Structure 1
Amino acid sequence: MSDPERAMLLSVHPRFATAILAGSKTVEVRRQRVAAPPGTAVLLYATAPTMAIVGMARIASVQVASPREVWSTSRTRAGISRREYDAYMTGATRASGLTLKDPVTFDAPVPLTALRATGPFHPPQSYRYLKCDDLQLMAMAAPSADSTLRGVLSELVPA
């Protein structure tokens, strides 16, 4: 899989997944450097109690800077309070602000149980890049997935 075809699986709390998919949260912040080019597909894994891939978005841009700088540029779009942000960033020297665009909610979320039924699957603590094998397992786990997810998978998985 070449870089333009790379996809990311991003673990987020259900409240943040909902806000991203609703378009009210357009920046996701992370404590570590994220290197993903604009256009990268981001599959959103909503953590417990949802435990499912619920939708996707695309990366519009990534800002890697100090936590203070990331907050300064993203505070109105990050969907969290300053107190939450500061608690999350405690001890971090670098932060990433992923600006997301084109959010799409899947009609049929792909539950963790279905993902694990097709092979070993472990949701990331924060995020991870997906390999072709990962995407093929997702396709098998979601045979009745909506057309958006099928389209993303077909775009990313070589024939």
Structure 2
Amino acid sequence: MSDPERAMLLSVHPRFATAILAGTKTVEVRRQRVAAPPGTPVLLYATAPTMAIVGMARIASVQVATPREVWTASGTSAGISLREYDEYMSGATRASGLSLEEPVTFEVPVPLAALRASGAFHPPQSYRYLTGEDLRKVAAATPVTGEALHGALGALAPA
């Protein structure tokens, strides 16, 4: 996981993407163990009806624990109610709380059609890791966003 040419592509509902980018939601919760080091770039893919990469953030830290422990530590920052959280975590024995920082909203979102035009692209159900080559394809999909991506990722997505 310490590959310096790796970023995370995270699928989130549009309301959560908006909240993350606004800085009002600073923790994203997942039902499985997520092992990503602090500083890992996270591209935010907003699911239907948006269907686009709308921005990015960086992982500040990851807490892996029981669902109850993750809620106790970060529920107020997760942007959902306890009822929604409990429904989402139903049956899970482990949970991850990804603390996110440095949100950047892309001036021009990268739509799914543009991502697919640059090669085979399938948004993940939850998340997946992207290599430097994957990132170069994302950056090439929309020139304006590509510039923002290059700036935010530095050497990770060279032109």
TM-score relative to the length of structure 2: 0.94
Instruction: Report matched runs for 1:1-159 at 5 Å.
Output: 3-145=3-145, 147-157=147-157
- CA offset at residue 32 of structure 1? 0.4
Name the amino acid aligned to 2:56. Answer: M
Q: Is the CA contact 1:54–1:110 (under 8 Å) kept in the aligned structure 2?
A: yes
Cα RMSD (Å) of the superposition?
Answer: 1.6
Runs of 4+ in 1 over 6 A off after TM superposition: none
Aligned equivalents of 1:81, 1:24: Cα separation in 2: 14
The answer as to whether partners of 2:14 and 2:47 remain within 8 angstroms in 1 is: yes
Task: Report % sequence identity.
Answer: 77
Structure 1 unaligned blocks of 5 or more: none
Count of residues paired in the alignment: 159
| 1:30-73 deviation per Cα after TM superposition (whole angstroms, max 9, x unaligned) | 00000100000000000000000000000000000000000000
Residue 4 of structure 1 contacts residue 37 of structure 1 at CA under 8 Å; is this kept in 2? no
> Cα–Cα, structure 1 residues 61 and 142, in superposed 2: closer, same or farther, change >3 Å?
same
Q: Note the C-alpha offset of 1:95.
A: 0.3
Whether contact under 8 Å (2:9, 2:44) holds in the other structure is: yes
**2:155 & 2:55 partners in 1: Cα distance?**
16
1:135–1:153 CA contact under 8 A, matched in 2: no
Normalised TM-score (structure 1):
0.94
Q: In the alignment, is the contact (CA less than 8 A) between 2:21 and 2:55 conserved in 1?
A: yes
Give 1:146 deviation, angstroms.
5.9
Aligned residue for 2:144, secondary structure, equals coil
Q: Cα gap change, 1:2/1:31 in structure 2, threshold over 3 Å: closer, same or farther?
A: closer
